[in-house]
Structure 1
Amino acid sequence: MKGLDKQSTKERFIIDLERLGFRSAKVIGKYNYREMKKGLEMHRHNDMLEIVFLDKGSQYYYIEGKDYHMTGGNILLTFPGEEHGTKGFPEEKGQLFWLIIHIPRNEQKLLNLRSIETKLLVDRLLQLNKNRLFKVPHGVKNDIEKIFQIYNNNENDVYKKIKITNLLLSFLLNIIAYGEKSSKITISDTFANICTFICDNIKEEISLTHLADKANLSLSHFKHRFKKEIGTTPMDFIMKNKINTAKIMLPEQKSVSGVAYELNFSSPSYFATVFKKYTSKNPSDYI
Structure 2
Amino acid sequence: MKSSEQVDVTNTPERRILDLSQIGMQSALSLGRFHYTRVAPGIRKQCHANWLVLQYALRGSHSYYVDGKSLEIRGGQGLRILPGEEYSSRFQKEQRGDLVWLILQVNPLPVGADLGMTETGVKDVFARLLDGELPAEFLFGEDLKASIEEVFGAWERRRDPLIQELIRNRIASVVLASALCLENFEAEEMESQNSGRVGEVMRWLEQNIEKELTVEEMAKVAGLSVPHFFREFKRFTGTSPNDFLLQKKVDRAAVRLAEKPPPTVTQIAHELGFSSSQYFSTVFRRYRGMSPTEWRSARSPSSPS
TM-score range, shorter chain: 0.7 to 0.9
What is the alpha-carbon distance in structure 1 between the residues aligned to residue 93 and residue 288 of structure 2?
Answer: 6
Q: Which residue of 1 aligns with 2:249?
A: 242
What is the alpha-carbon distance in structure 2 between the residues aligned to residue 279 and residue 90 of structure 1?
Answer: 6
Which of 259, 275, 281 is 1:272 aligned to? 281
Conserved 8 A contact 1:140-1:174: yes
What is the alpha-carbon distance in structure 2 between the residues aligned to residue 264 and residue 41 of structure 1?
Answer: 33
What is the alpha-carbon distance in structure 1 between the residues aligned to residue 159 and residue 232 of structure 2?
Answer: 45
The C-alpha deviation readout for 1:42-78, integer Å capped at 9, x for no partner, is 3222232111222333333333344443333333222
Q: Which residue of 1 aligns with 2:302?
A: none
1:140 aligns with 2:144: yes
Q: Which residue of 1 aligns with 2:234?
A: 227
Q: Which residue of 1 aligns with 2:204?
A: 197
Deviation at 1:27, TM superposition (A): 1.6
Deviation at 1:146, TM superposition (A): 3.5
The C-alpha deviation readout for 1:231-253, integer Å capped at 9, x for no partner, is 43322222111101111222432
Which of 57, 64, 67 is 2:67 aligned to? 64
- Say if 1:171 and 1:196 are closer, same or farther in 2 by CA, change over 3 A: closer
What is the alpha-carbon distance in structure 1 between the residues aligned to residue 216 and residue 116 of structure 2?
Answer: 57
SS of the residue corresponding to residue 194 of structure 2 reads coil
Q: Which runs of 5+ in 1 are unaligned?
A: none
Q: Which residue of 2 aligns with 1:79?
A: 82
1:285 aligns with 2:294: yes
Spell out the pairing of 1:170-185 with structure 2 (5 A cutoff): 170-183=173-186, 184-185=189-190
Q: TM-score, normalised by structure 2?
A: 0.78
Conserved 8 A contact 1:187-1:229: no
- Say if 1:166 and 1:128 are closer, same or farther in 2 by CA, change over 3 A: farther
What is the alpha-carbon distance in structure 2 between the residues aligned to residue 17 and residue 273 of structure 1?
Answer: 41
Q: TM-score, normalised by structure 1?
A: 0.82
What is the alpha-carbon distance in structure 2 between the residues aligned to residue 228 and residue 145 of structure 1?
Answer: 17
- Say if 1:284 and 1:123 are closer, same or farther in 2 by CA, change over 3 A: same
Deviation at 1:18, TM superposition (A): 4.0
Q: More displaced, 39-48 or 212-221?
A: 212-221
Conserved 8 A contact 1:128-1:179: no
What is the alpha-carbon distance in structure 2 between the residues aligned to residue 146 and residue 229 of structure 1?
Answer: 22
Among the aligned pairs, what percent are the same residue?
30
1:261 aligns with 2:270: yes
Q: RMSD of aligned C-alpha atoms?
A: 3.1
Conserved 8 A contact 1:187-1:230: no
Q: Which runs of 5+ in 2 are unaligned?
A: 297-305
What is the alpha-carbon distance in structure 2 between the residues aligned to residue 210 and residue 145 of structure 1?
Answer: 35
